[in-house]
């Protein structure tokens, strides 16, 4: 899968676990959220997923076809699509239908040695109301916002999108 735009010099690279899906980005993420929702926990097998926010035009995805299935496979919910490697199952990204210009890339897929510059620190924990019971979020005042669901701004964007009849515009 490839994005519609060719980024300039890559500032980072990433891949799935098996290496069948790779990507480059001409920008570093402009925000990072730590999502504790049940869907993120179940699809990743982790207590939360760190998602970095990128403009779609900055990303270029590459994938070779496997013998039996497409490299990137998506699942869709009422509000988003999620992308996974069709071979190893790695969580790759999420795109919210109400924000089709942004791709939320799973930060665990970033190749650490490839980063040019400094990546921002996470800015928020979201969906703490669905947090794994066995996982403790630090009580330290680390400057990371904490939300029971989405933050107020995103919740408002989602409600406006739903009021318009929930058009599905996000695509892979």
Tens of pLDDT, residue by residue over 69-105, are: 556 777 778 899 999 998 899 999 999 999 999 999 9
Domain assignment present for 92? yes
Q: What percent of the chain has pLDDT over 90?
A: 69
Segment 115-119 shows an average pLDDT of: 95
- pTM > 0.75: yes or no: yes
Domain assignment present for 5? no
Domain assignment present for 145? yes
pLDDT at 16 over 60: yes
Count of structural domains within the chain: 1
Which of 7-11, 22-26, 118-122 has the least mean pLDDT? Answer: 7-11
Domain assignment present for 150? yes
Domain assignment present for 126? yes
- Beta 49-55 vs 72-76: how paired, if at all? unpaired
CA distances from 55 to 25, 41, 48, 128, 143 (A): 9, 24, 22, 26, 24
CATH code of residue 59: 3.90.1590.10
pLDDT at 111 over 50: yes
Domain assignment present for 170? no
Residue 87: give the domain boundaries.
12-134+141-163
pLDDT at 5 over 70: no
Backbone phi and psi for residue 105, each to the nearest 5 degrees, phi listed first: -90, 135
Q: Which pLDDT value is given to residue 2?
A: 43
């Amino acid at each position: 899968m490839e994005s519609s735009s060719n980024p300039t010099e890559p500032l980072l690279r990433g891949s799935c676990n098996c290496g069948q899906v790779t990507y480059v980005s001409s920008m570093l993420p402009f925000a990072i959220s730590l999502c504790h929702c049940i869907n993120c926990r179940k699809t990743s097998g982790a207590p939360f997923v760190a998602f970095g926010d990128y403009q779609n035009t900055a990303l270029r995805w590459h994938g070779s076809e496997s013998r039996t299935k497409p490299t990137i496979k998506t699942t869709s919910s009422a509000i988003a699509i999620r992308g996974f490697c069709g071979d190893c199952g790695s969580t790759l990204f999420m795109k919210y239908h109400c924000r089709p210009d942004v791709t939320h890339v799973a930060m665990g897929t970033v190749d650490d040695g490839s980063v040019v510059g400094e990546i921002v620190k996470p800015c928020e924990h979201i969906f703490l109301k669905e947090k794994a019971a066995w996982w403790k979020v630090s009580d330290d005042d680390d400057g990371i916002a904490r939300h029971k669901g989405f933050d107020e701004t995103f919740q408002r964007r989602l409600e406006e999108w739903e009021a318009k009849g929930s058009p599905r515009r996000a695509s892979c």
